[in-house]
Amino acid sequence: MTLYAKVIEVPPKTPPEDPVVDDIEIEEDTITEIDVQIPYGHRGVTGLSIWYGLKQVYPLPEGSWIQGDDIFIRHRMVMRIPKPPDRLVLKAYNNSVLYSHKFYVYIHAEWWENVRPELYALQRLAEMIQRLSEALGLD
């Protein structure tokens, strides 16, 4: 398992309509957990969302934001990345007029064969049967 860590700092007066945007490159093909630390002081005036391509993956529904103050959020999941390496995009806003704020984001990633070895083995078996079928002209 690989742990990717990213700190995203958001200056004051950064509206949700024009958020700070940053990314994390993921080498593996499966994300198994997303953790977010929101330090003391945010007081709900900030927000963070995480995207894969054009789709918001956390939080849901699309258009919502992770908000809070002095909180650690853990979200376990299984999200496949079709063609690794690829990137997750972080978007963050800050409605504070005086202070910048930071989010600490942690992404846990793993190769699919280690996450669900039984499904990986079945997938490989299906691929072998398909190749054998094609070689024998049975397709």
pTM (predicted TM-score): 0.85
Give residue limits of the domains in the chain: 2-135
Full DSSP string of 68-91: -SSEEEEEEEEEE-SSSSEEEEEE
pLDDT digits (tens, 9 = 90+) for 61-107: 999 999 999 999 999 999 999 999 999 999 999 999 999 999 999 99
Question: Mind listing the pLDDT tens digit for each residue in 109-130?
Answer: 999 889 877 777 788 888 888 8
CATH class of the domain comprising 2-135: mainly beta
Helix (H) or strand (E) holding 58: strand 55-58
